[in-house]
Amino acid sequence: MAKFAPKRGESSGTAVMPAGAARFVDGYLAYLLARASHLVSAQFHARLPEARLSVAEWRVLCTLSDGDRLAVGALARFVLHKQPTLTKILDRMARRGWVKRAASEADGRIVLVRITAAGRRKVAPLLAAAKRHEADVLAGSGGAEAEALKAVLRDLIARCAADSMPTPPALSKRLRTR
Amino acid sequence: MAKFAPKRGESSGTAVMPAGAARFVDGYLAYLLARASHLVSAQFHARLPEARLSVAEWRVLCTLSDGDRLAVGALARFVLHKQPTLTKILDRMARRGWVKRAASEADGRIVLVRITAAGRRKVAPLLAAAKRHEADVLAGSGGAEAEALKAVLRDLIARCAADSMPTPPALSKRLRTR
DNA sequence: GTCCAGAATATGACTTTTCATGGATCGGCG
DNA sequence: CGCCGATCCATGAAAAGTCATATTCTGGAC
């Protein structure tokens, strides 16, 4: 079966695509990342509803599953949502007893979020399922190839995250002196 | 500057992360893809509001920019949205004159969508900007490395798309015979 | 000590997306 | 032909996300 065989109707109508000419999106990195991300996750996400979890809730739980506490804003960046969105997600999750909020002792503005024992029980089987699903997706590629892909992605992430960092303290100080 | 330096507050509180132990999410392919996709696109997406475009509208226009017509459902899969969502996006875009709907002559159920001249004018400068942005993101990696990454992503996409394909006609026929 | 700019989170109005469903059409089969 | 399951798109109610803003707190300047 051809790997790029169009889905039903995908090329219907009067599509005129010269053999050699790829679509814009097929060569555009941002789109390939978005589509790969979407498809790779889709199969796993399809199993979340039966666990009564939304995608965002799953991401919160597996991010917190390592045990440390995170500020709301920091957690929001991890789960790829805006802070007000996460606040509302945390409200639901706290009501259900999966996470707990506590004011930071060091800084009164910060609210630290941690996973509860119930949250851990909720997420444990899903973490295992996620690992199995990843293995399935990567089956056929060697382990080295998979690690190489992850390394490239981590590099991309680091590079873009650096760009989107808020102005560093040292510089903002200088800026304030106009 | 350390590439993985935590953002302000990212490690505040009582985080206890042994040096060697990576977070679950740092080793999880689906998360790395989601985060890379999110961050790579973020900088470009930040420039869409000034062009009065939403992310979804941008994706519709650049997908259609190659000139062929697509069915609503097929287009929805391209732009990574559900079909009802796309129908509403297309309503807005058609009102603004960027796309046009037309019934398929071959199949009365299908509505084919194509970009208009106005839509083309709208998206042209953005296509150029997108290419420049991609070049910026990939600056520092060789062209060969970038192509390799894209090839891996296309492979992932092809593999997952095959899995999520609706049951092939031949098989569904067999299934119907219970 | 007081002031003030800036940071972190919460809240409410608003917009966007999704789910469930309905109407229309197609294709195959008796 | 006429039926029947399946496919495709549109619609309306419900859910989720976002923007702008309010509130509380911090840390440094004066």
Contact A70 B15 (CB under 8 A): yes
Can you give the distance from the CA of residue B92 to the C1' of nucleotide C13 in angstroms?
Answer: 22
Tell me the pLDDT tens digit for each residue of A109-143.
999 999 999 999 999 999 999 999 999 999 877 78
Is any atom of strand D within 7 angstroms of residue A178's beta carbon?
no
Q: Average pLDDT for residues B126-146, to the nearest whole number? A: 90
CB A11 within 8 A of CB B165: no
Provide the 10 A C-beta neighbour count for residue B17. Answer: 12
- Of B162 and B9, which is predicted with more confidence? B162
Q: Give pLDDT, residue B10.
A: 42
Tell me the pLDDT tens digit for each residue of A49-102.
999 999 999 999 999 999 899 999 999 999 999 999 999 999 999 999 999 999
Measure the CA–CA gap between A86 and A64, rounded to whole angstroms: 14
Q: Give pLDDT, residue A4.
A: 34
Nearest to A32 among B29, B145, B157 (CB): B157
**Band of residue B177 on the pLDDT scale cut at 50, 70, 90:** very low
Tokens of A98: 């999966």
Measure the CA–CA gap between A32 and B138, rounded to whole angstroms: 14
Is any atom of strand D within 7 angstroms of residue A108's beta carbon?
yes
> Span A25-138: which CATH code?
1.10.10.10
**Nearest nucleotide by C1' position to the A10 CA atom:** D8
Measure CA to C1' and name the residue nearest D17.
Answer: A85
Measure the CA–CA gap between A138 and A145, rounded to whole angstroms: 9
Which of the listed ranges A10-24, A75-89, A144-158, B150-164 does the model predict with the highest average pLDDT?
A75-89
Contact A106 B3 (CB under 8 A): no
Contacts (Cβ under 8 Å, ≥6 apart) of A38:
B80
What is A68-123 written as a DSSP string?
--EEHHHHHHHTTS-HHHHHHHHHHHHHTTSEEEEE-SS-TT-EEEEE-HHHHHHH
Q: Average pLDDT for residues A9-34, to the nearest whole number? A: 71
Q: Give pLDDT, residue A18.
A: 61
**Band of residue A23 on the pLDDT scale cut at 50, 70, 90:** confident
Domain ranges for chain A: 25-138
The sheet carrying B111-115 orders its strands as: B70-71, B111-115, B99-103
Quick one: how many helices (H) and strands (E) in chain A? 7, 3
